[in-house]
Structure 1
Amino acid sequence: MIPRAVVMGIERMPEVTKTLELSLVNPNAHKERKLCETREAYQQALQAAFDADCTSQSATNDVVVEYDLSGYAKNALKKYVPQLCGGSYDADELHDDHPVKFTNEGVQLDHKPQNALEWYVKIPHHDDYHLWIPAHVNPDQRDWVEAVYAGDAEMGESRLFKRDGAWYLHVTATRDVEGQSAASANERTPIGVDIGEASLVTVCHRDESGSPVRPKLWADDGKAVRRLRKTYFTATRRLQKRGSERIAESYGDTLWDQIDDVFHRVTREVVEYAESVDNPVLVLEDLTYIRENMDYGAYMNRRLHGWGFAKLHTQVRYKAAENGIPVETVNPQNTSKTCHACGEHGYRPRQATFRCSNADCWVTEYQADVNGAINIADRYRSGESHRQSDRATRQKAGDDDSATDGAHPSLAKPRTA
């Protein structure tokens, strides 16, 4: 058997990694209860190990060994918790909807082509009890699922989660790609991520011909967060004037929790968008430059510094890392003022509109946030990027760009005074 690495001058075959999407089909009441028990036990074990500040696998094992989980889930926790506690993510808090992770081979596939529901997955509940559940496979990924079942693709980590009342399983798979050059296998599709106030987040990428495709805007969520922030400032100031500091603080916490829920949902959807693209890399604006360039007068400074740029930025970053999607950052200078089609500068007559000043350009007016997202992606495509790991040593003193609650103090929860 020839190993995958380079041996005796033989060049390693290119590999591609993809996240396979399976939706579980109507678990009965018993299996639904067992799935819920698995999720609850996993989240309790995760929280307990995190609270104990477990920075090693052995320390994590001492905590999670007591929980009624399979060895596959416990081993996933032993890998993941040290990353959260002073490792890759260095988190200050956990969001409350972590998927249940299983290490490789924890999940198994079975194929019954004679059945109406032909795919089945075995999900570990605990060490001596497993759940077989029928599943729908993403039709575009059928060849990958068949390759995993046949042993021609290597199964990696799996993630079980529930969304909108339905259960889903995401399985990471790695496959040799015969007949491709190493360069083409390593080619990434840059997805520009524009974080703003009008549209909370906007993503877009180019297809093989260079045309912008599949722009997605979270504009309604931007409106919702602006409304909540306005309510926050108005209501808390009124309560403070009446001397109701404790009520103001409690009310403010409630509103910010609602904003945070929006942030978590939107950033999950950004990562799901990336998972639907072949060989994605999410490209964000470098927060160092954003902080240095925030000078728009007292009113706008208050709004922008209170806006969740860093929080959204970091949530995208750590959720992408959880799903094996690389993240890069680029200098955001003029990404909102440059035409993605001709490169000339333009202007924004309205918040959501970009107008190119080049009379010969086919772009007259364009959606401003989509234009910015394309420019962010193009910065990476042109070779300009700063890896997050490389940037750590260049952080300014006092900057907190960790995957904690995701914010520099001035960019986090608005102050009431």
Structure 2
Amino acid sequence: MKKITMTVKLPLFRPTHAKQEMYRTMRSEFARLLNRVLDIKRQQPALNAKDIDHLLKKESILPSTTRQEARKLALSRYEEWEMNKTTKSFPRFKEKQTILFNNQNWRLRYDNGRLKLGIPTIEKGILTLEKYVPVQTNDYTEFWVQTLLTGEWDRTSKHYHPSFERIIEIKKGQGQLYEKKKRWYFAFSVTLIMRETEKPVQGKTVGVDRGLKMIAVAGCGQTGEYLIFHGRHLGHIRRNYHRLRRQLQTAKNRKAIKRLGCKERRIVHYWNHVISKRIVQFAEQTGATVIKLERLKGIRQMKRHWKRSDRNIHSWSFFDLEKKIQYKAEQKGLTVEYVDPYKTSQQCFRCGNVKRTNRRGSLFQCSCGYTKQADVNASFVISARPSIAG
């Protein structure tokens, strides 16, 4: 069986000022507990989870389940530090920390036609319907919420896909409450457990060439169709953030550097979502059953061969893009396979000739007379290459 994990984000619908102040109090207390657990563990390494929970119970107003989530997260960070403390500084959590909830301790339900969220808070008494807060949905989130609550597919929805019939179980995961730009959101993970199917008969194949000037080029050699994602805009973003980091490093403003890095990562993740979604849609439109990617292990070690590419190759997440393509493709019933990346940019798609001089910048010209944009040719070559073990 295959497991695919996705995230659903729901904005809270006009929470009252009292609710927002309560959430901010919980957020501050959650962050305090995280750092408290780190300090306790550093001072008393032999202390076990049960003893730590007993200490936290005496000094915190948070519900027991929320305290336990704080303890779990802090101990996981502590263990990571223990393994790498020669190279990493002791971890600390920021004040505006996302509040975590176990999958058994948050609930969604409809009340008078409106979706509401129930989470453990510092309010007195048990969690009654009056303490639930309304949340907003759109077509996409409504589709997945309905499926999660009823266990049935809305086959009339534009978000439904026949490949969803392979899903044999849907499990809700951990929930997160956080504030962003003065708005509160609740996000939760959903794990789709999919039944394995027989490998489909090899049909059309789409190859994806990833790079720097062109973040990704998807091409189907059998039909000659292709899709290009230019990297000009994204390259400008990377250079701008690199310049800002250098200025902040000169000023020794570490907090601002950290905030800047988080913002850049969010931008990268957003564009990887956009690119991966469009690649999968392109594969569906061409009638492809397989998406082929280059196996790019060790890509960062290759930076010494490229001029002026060191910061670009280290600031773009090829692995993140690969994983997003993989899980989006599997959702749609497509197969993702890998090929050997050796000289894909120098091989001619038409005759198979491999020669370094075939590629001249962004133009590919072979002695057989074949001419193509270089990255498009590479995507065609990838689509035609035999698969290797992933």
TM-score with structure 2 setting the length: 0.58
Please name the residue that 1:148 is paired with. 148
**1:38: how far off?**
2.5
Select the residue among 355, 360, 364 that pairs with 2:363: 355
Match of 1:76 in 2: 69
Alignment-mate amino acid for residue 167 of structure 1: W
Aligned to 1:414: none
Residue 102 of structure 1: CA displacement?
0.9
Would you say the 8 A contact 2:65–2:102 is kept in 1? yes
Instruction: Judge conservation of contact 1:284–1:313 (CA < 8 Å) in 2.
Output: no
* SS of corresponding position for 1:169: strand
Secondary structure class of the residue paired with 2:119: strand
Q: Among residues 120, 126, 130, which one is paired with 2:122 in the alignment?
A: 126
Query: Which of 19, 36, 42 is matched with 1:31 structurally?
Result: 19
Q: Call closer, same or farther: CA 1:17–1:265 in 2, change over 3 Å.
A: closer
1:104 shift after superposition: 0.9
Query: Which has the larger Rg?
Result: 2
8 Å contact from structure 2 (residues 339, 386) kept in 1: no
* CA apart distance, 1:121: 0.7
- Which residue in 2 is equivalent to 1:137? 137
Range 54-63 or range 77-86, more displaced: 54-63
Q: Deviations over 1:1-58 (max 9, x none)?
A: xxxxxxxxxxx8x766543332221212111222222233223333443465589745
Report what 2:161 is aligned to: none
Aligned-partner Cα distance in 2 for 1:260–1:216: 23
Q: CA deviation at 1:74?
A: 2.7
SS at match of 1:125: coil
The whole-number CA distance in structure 1 between the counterparts of 2:225 and 2:93 is 33
What is the distance in 2 between the residues matched to 1:175 and 1:99? 24
Provide the C-alpha distance between the structure 1 equivalents of 2:385 and 2:9, rounded to a whole number of angstroms.
28
What is residue 222 of structure 1 aligned with on the other side?
Answer: 235
CA RMSD of aligned residues (A): 5.7
Task: Give the CA deviation at 1:304.
Answer: 4.4
Q: Name 1:169's counterpart in structure 2.
A: 186
Shift of 1:338: 7.0
Matches within 5 A, 1:289-308: 289-292=299-302, 294-296=304-306, 300=307, 304-305=309-310, 307=311
* Equivalences for residues 2-401 of structure 1 within 5 A: 17-50=5-38, 52=41, 57-58=49-50, 61=53, 65=57, 66-87=59-80, 92=88, 93=91, 96=94, 99-112=98-111, 114-115=112-113, 118-126=114-122, 128=124, 131-150=131-150, 153-174=170-191, 181-182=196-197, 196=212, 202=215, 219-220=232-233, 222-227=235-240, 229-230=242-243, 249-251=250-252, 256-257=257-258, 259-269=260-270, 288-292=298-302, 294-296=304-306, 300=307, 304-305=309-310, 307=311, 309-310=313-314, 313=317, 334=343, 347=359, 349=361, 354-357=362-365, 364-365=372-373, 382-385=387-390
Q: Secondary structure at the match of 2:120?
A: strand
Supply the distance in 1 between the matched residues of 2:10 and 2:149 (Cα, whole angstroms).
14
Q: Which of the two has greater helix per residue? A: 2
Under a length normalisation based on structure 1, what TM-score does the superposition of the two structures give?
A: 0.55
Q: Is the 8 A contact 2:9 2:186 kept in 1?
A: yes
Amino acid at match of 2:180: R
Q: Following TM superposition, by how much is the alpha carbon of 1:103 offset from its aligned partner in structure 2, in angstroms?
A: 0.8
Find the residue that maps to 1:364 and give its secondary structure.
strand
Q: How many residues align?
A: 331
How much has 1:108 moved relative to structure 2? 0.7
Q: Which runs of no fewer than 5 residues in structure 2 stay unpaired?
A: 153-169, 200-205, 281-290, 331-336
Kept in 1: contact 2:171–2:192 (CA 8 A):
yes
Instruction: Confirm or deny: 8 A CA contact 2:303 2:309 kept in the other structure.
Output: no
Distance (Å, rounded) in 1 between the aligned partners of 2:132 and 2:254: 42
Residue 120 of structure 1 and its aligned partner are, at CA, apart by 0.7
Structure 1: gaps spanning 5 or more residues: 1-11, 185-189, 237-247, 386-417
